[in-house]
Structure 1
């Protein structure tokens, strides 16, 4: 990974800023909501205590029957069509009965439905009416209670039979309608407006099941109270919807309505609403669209308040971008829950503040991120360019063999005046190249120095051996045991002399290769001429020469190329068996040429493939005493010629294992410009 990419990755770490800001905004939004929830719960508790102190809420007398407001006029016909809007809030009685109570300006209505598939029928006036299926209805007021028997042998109108003495304010005659089907029967009746009616009891007797024929469930009547609603409106803060519920959850009073945003609150838009709901408001319940105009509530906050706990709950609003806070507290008197006060407040303030804070944090964070990323990218680019200059200078300053090529003046090494760490590195490289240059020059001249220094000691040893042999022969014949030792000493001196001459020759070859003058030549002619000259020298071996059809020009020294091919051929002949083959081929490359000499023979050892072209390295068999040693300078000369032509030389084993191939790559020597 490049330096710029690494620093860009470091710059991406600043993404932690918007993430931390997002957590802070979420915490701020949570604190805002918690504070608003605590304030609304406190307001609800104050209102609840006020209702208890002012006795605006009548004392609870246990479970009661709820009388709903009739949304439409009701026709007393025994059918439940007119009661359809109120059916979801029917109240169970007996074992299989459902009761609906409603009132309007025209009267008080009752609709009872009993599931009974096995019927025993009788009219209310019959003597055995109590033995048949029937209803017992009990009406009560401040003066007392009176029961009525409702039974019919057939569908249609019926007249209820009073079972108790008359009670002031309660009717003597009670008409009703009876209807039935295969699932059971229904009873519907209407009473004149009864503001004094405070209790109602109802019971259903099933002749098939038995039981008490006169049992009733008598409960107080609960209904919506305009007076309590007016009292509640004076206590509740503005902009808050309040509802007072009975312990069973029936609506007793209501004040205010949930409304949309005011003129001061701006519509946040769909995107801001989506951001708020997705990233910030993670603890919101779904909107309760069904719970706005219902006679009974059984939401979770109401259930907690009925158990005596004050709770608050946030949910999504009905309008886009709004939230609703609901606070429910119990209305307690003498430690007993007599009702529930539910306050609800719709607001867009919290989402707007949270979104505004989040967008501000994100914009600031991304601005800082872009600025930091740009600065780091510019710094990384400048740093990369400086390092690239240093790298290029180092690559130009040295060759593959470690020698300095003179293209870089050590006194003008780049960035040595820089005061930072790169300047220190440049100065260290400068010192290193000065030391390497000095050591390389020492090694280049070492051979000539050694050869010069060794010539005199070798001459002294050789003349001493000759004088010793001559002195011994003057006195007597040379003893036979001494002859081998004398011959070995002379052979060693000869070998040392050959080594000294080879070292001198190596220095001269390097200087001659460096001093060679280039010219434009056609490599086909050079390679063809070498191949024609090699065939008489290879004996019984076979040489195959492969040349391209088109001319292959190159700016180089043809005598050096021929000398390199001579060295390669000499090396190949040492390993090619009699009647073996050699293959010399020339191929064009992009910007140069490639000459390959392959020969049949043993493969190269893997450990020696990278060292073949070093000086004084050879794979040929050791010479026997008296023979001139092989010094391993041939392939070293080939490498020098390749490097002088801007190329290289490699050795490899053939894929089929039949021999070895040496590939000489030439790019051409640089052209000299004439000074003006």
Structure 2
């Protein structure tokens, strides 16, 4: 991984900043909501305490019948068509069994309406005037005022109008009998009636008896009548805070009074867009309950906070508002008087301030974080780019300072290493490189000139040895000493050859380095060499493979010919008398490759990496009296290849029939005219 990528990865760590800011914004939003909830709960407690002190909310007992306000005019006909808007809030005749039957109560200016529906699939019929009427299916209706209680029997043997006689002695203020409408079908029977609006009632009891199920035939427990109170609503409006919807509920959730409304319409800040609302609900307000769209105009409210308050504990809940981007805070507290819970006070407040403030804080934080991230990333990228460029300059200088054979370029050593005057760690590294290259360059020069120095220094002692041997040859030596004299003379001759070869190698390196390049057709150079080698090949077969088109190249043709001479001389010495040689030339993308293959023994694996070194040879050791082979030929081939920016290599042929030496060449650089 490059340095820039590593620094970019480090820059990505700044992403922790917006994440931390997001968590901070969520925490602040939660604190804002918690503070607003506590404030609304405090207001609710104060209002509930005032209602309890003034006795505005009367004790409702454990249960009661709730009388709804009639939405449409009601016709007493025994059918539920007029009751359709009120049917979602049916009340069970039995507190714990809604399957026995349900009751609907409604009031308008004409009176109090009652609609009871009883499930009964096995009808037992009798009219109210029959002696066995109480043994048949019937309905008991109990009315109570301050003077007492009166029960009425509603029974019928067939659908239609019925008259309910009293079961108890007359009570002042209560009717002597009741008129009702009886209807039935396969599922049971229905009773609908109307009581006068002027009838003062303290309680109402309704009991259904089904003969097939049994039970108490005359039971009709009294329950208080609950309903919406305009007086309590006026008192609540006086006590409730501004811009808050307040509702007083019975312990069972029935609406007793109401004031104010939820203002969720767009204010001065307008309605936020869908994206802002989505951001708030997805990223910030994770604890919002769903909007209760049906809970605004209902006679009974059964929610979690109301149930909690009815048990005696205050509770608050945040819900999503009906309008986009709004939230609603609900706070419910019990209305307690003399240790008894008379009702529940529910305050609801719509707010756009919290979402707007949270969205603005989050947006500002995200913009700041993204800006900081971009700036930090740009700074780190610029720093990484500059550092990468400086390191690349240092690398390029180090690569230019050395040649392919490991020697140092003298021109590079004479100039200052780049960035060596910098005051940072890169400058320290550059100065260390400069010092290292100076030391290595000096040592390399010493090694390069060592051969010529040794050649010069050994000439004088070698001449003394030779003159001494010449004098010994003219002296009278015993016959047994003559072989030793011959061996000494042969060793001195070999030593002289080595000294001359060392001097020749030094001169050859300088000559190759000084060779000038020209534009030639490399195909003609190789063809000319091949024609000259045919006469030297003798009985060996020489094949020359050349490309069909010219191969122009900017090179030193005399050096290439010299390298081919060395390769051919080496191949000829290892090729059998009836063997073959193959000289081929093929173009490459950046130059050309010359290969000379010959039949013969394969190369030893241990010598393949040392063949092109100086003074290394694979030929048999010379027989005494023969001229020694110094192994400079392939070394010259390597120098020529490196002078052309290429390389020399050797390999065994795939079929094992011989070896191949390759010379890869590139165009030599053109010298600029001053």
Q: Same fold (TM over 0.5)?
A: yes
Answer whether contact 1:410 1:433 (CA < 8 A) is retained: no
Give the Å deviation of 1:79: 0.8
CA distance in 1, matches of 2:162, 2:68: 25
Q: Say whether 1:659 aligns with 2:658.
A: yes
Indicate the residue corresponding to 1:385 in structure 2: 389
Query: 1:522 aligns to what?
Result: 521
User: Is this contact kept in 2: 1:583–1:597, CA < 8 A?
Assistant: yes
How big is the shift at 1:628? 3.9
Cα separation, partners in 2 of 1:58 and 1:578, compared to 1, 3 Å:
farther
Q: Distance in 2 between matches of 1:139 and 1:119?
A: 26
Q: Using the TM superposition, give the Cα deviation of residue 586 of structure 1 relative to its aligned residue in structure 2, in angstroms.
A: 1.3
8 Å contact from structure 2 (residues 126, 156) kept in 1: yes
524-533 vs 1-10, greater mean Cα deviation: 1-10
- For the pair 1:185 / 2:189, whether they are aligned, the reply is yes
The one-character-per-residue Cα deviations of 1:621-667 (angstroms, maximum 9, x if unpaired) are: 44455444433221110111112223222233444444333221222
Q: Is the Cα–Cα contact under 8 Å of residues 322 and 347 in structure 1 kept in the other structure?
A: yes
Q: For the aligned residues, what is the CA RMSD?
A: 2.3
Q: Distance in 2 between matches of 1:39 and 1:232?
A: 18
Where 2:651 maps in the other structure, the secondary structure is strand
Q: Paired residue for 1:598?
A: 597
Partners of 1:410 and 1:430 within 8 A in 2 = no
Greater displacement, 146-155 / 456-465: 456-465
Q: Deviations over 1:293-344 (max 9, x none)?
A: 1111111111221222211111111001101111111222233322211111
Aligned residue for 1:97, secondary structure, equals strand
* CA positional deviation for 1:447: 0.3
Q: 1:502 to 1:89 in 2, by over 3 A?
A: same
Give the SS at the match of 2:78. coil
**What stretches of structure 2 of length at least 5 have no aligned partner?**
none
Using the alignment, how far apart are the partners of 1:487 and 1:663 within structure 2?
42
Partner of 1:478: 480
After the TM superposition, which residues 624-639 of structure 1 pair with which residues of structure 2 at under 5 Å, given as runs? 624-639=623-638
1:283 Cα deviation after fit: 1.1
Aligned residues of 1:547 and 1:586 also touching (Cα < 8 A) = yes
Moved more, 404-413 or 28-37: 404-413
Q: Equivalent of 1:376, from 356, 380, 383?
A: 380
Change (3 A) 1:357 1:607: farther
Residue range with higher mean Cα deviation, 330-339 or 542-551:
330-339
> Offset of 1:587 from its aligned partner?
1.8
**Which of 233, 245, 263 is the equivalent residue of 2:249?**
245
Aligned counterpart for 1:174 among listed residues 170, 178, 194: 178
Residue 374 of structure 1: how far off its partner (Å) = 2.4
State how far apart, in whole Å, the 1-side matches of 2:601 and 2:304 are.
93
Distance in 2, matches of 1:409 and 1:463, equals 45
Q: Would the aligned equivalents of 2:41 and 2:333 in 1 still touch at CA under 8 Å?
A: yes
Distance, in Å, in 1 between the alignment partners of 2:486 and 2:239 is: 134
Shift of 1:593: 2.3
Aligned to 1:232: 236
Q: For the structure 1 residues 666 and 323, does the alpha-carbon distance in structure 2 shift closer, same or farther, using more than 3 Å as the test?
A: same
On the 8 A contact 2:405/2:642 being kept in 1, the answer is no
SS in 2 for 1:85: helix
- Superposed CA offset, 1:431-490 (max 9, x none): 22222221121111100111222233344445556666776x53x4317xx94x666555
Offset of 1:78 from its aligned partner?
0.5
Q: For residues 206-259 of structure 1, give each alpha carbon's deviation from its aligned partner in whole angstroms, at most 9, with x where no partner exists.
A: 112222211223211111111111111111111111111111111111111112
Aligned to 2:81: 81
**417, 436, 439: which one aligns with 1:435:** 439
Give the drift of 1:43.
1.1
| SS of residue in 2 equivalent to 1:408 | helix
Q: With structure 1 as the length reference, what TM-score do the two structures score?
A: 0.94
Counterpart Cα distance in 1 of 2:231 and 2:656: 112
Equivalent pair of 2:616/2:631 in contact (CA under 8 Å): yes
Residues 410 and 434 in structure 1, CA contact (< 8 A), matched pair in contact too: no
Match of 1:408 in 2: 412
Q: 1:142 aligns with which of 138, 143, 146?
A: 146
With 649-658 and 56-65 compared, the bigger mean Cα shift is at 649-658
* Aligned positions of 1:170-319 closer than 5 A: 170-194=174-198, 196-261=200-265, 263-319=267-323
Matched residues in 1 for 2:49 and 2:290: separation? 30
* Matched residue, 2:332: 328
| Aligned match of 2:20 | 20
Deviation sequence 1:529-551 (CA, Å, 0-9, x none): 21122223234332210112222
Distance 1:419 1:219 in 2: 96
Q: 2:264–2:321: 8 Å Cα contact kept in structure 1?
A: no
CA contact (8 A) 2:318 2:330 kept: yes
* In structure 2, C-alpha distance between the alignment counterparts of 1:352 and 1:145, rounded to whole Å: 59
* Most deviating of 425-434 and 341-350: 425-434
Q: Secondary structure at the match of 1:313?
A: strand
Q: How does 1:526-605 map to 2 (within 5 A)?
A: 526-605=525-604
CA displacement, residues 187-216 of structure 1 (integer Å, 9 cap, x when unaligned): 111111156212111111111222221122
Conserved 8 A contact 2:413-2:438: no
Alignment-derived partner of residue 366 in structure 1 = 370
- Using the alignment, how far apart are the partners of 1:429 and 1:670 within structure 2? 27
Q: Could you say what secondary structure the match of 2:410 adopts?
A: coil
User: Take 1:360 and 1:563, find their aligned partners in 2: how far apart are those partners?
Assistant: 77
In 1, Cα distance between the equivalents of 2:306 and 2:602?
Answer: 94
Indicate the SS of the match to 1:162: coil
Deviates more, 1:173-182 or 1:203-212: 203-212
Q: Please tell me whether residue 348 in structure 1 is matched to residue 347 in structure 2.
A: no
Number of residue equivalences = 670
How far does residue 415 in structure 1 lie from its aligned partner after superposition?
2.2
Counterpart position of 1:616: 615
- Cα distance change, pair 176–532 in 1 and its aligned pair in 2 (3 A): same
Matched, 1:97 2:101: yes
1:399 match = 403
Q: 1:620 to 1:477 in 2, by over 3 A?
A: closer
SS in 1 for 2:432: helix
Distance 2:38 2:645 in 1: 85
Residue 571 of structure 1: how far off its partner (Å): 2.5
Asked whether the equivalents of residues 53 and 337 of structure 2 are also in contact (C-alpha less than 8 Å), the reply is no
Secondary structure of 1:478 counterpart: helix
Cα 1:220–1:673, aligned 2, differ >3 Å: closer, same or farther? closer
1:93/1:217 contact within 8 Å kept: no
Give the structure 2 partner of residue 48 of structure 1: 48
How far does residue 153 in structure 1 lie from its aligned partner after superposition? 0.2
1:68 maps onto 2:68 in alignment: yes
| CA–CA distance in structure 2, aligned partners of residues 248 and 670 of structure 1 | 101
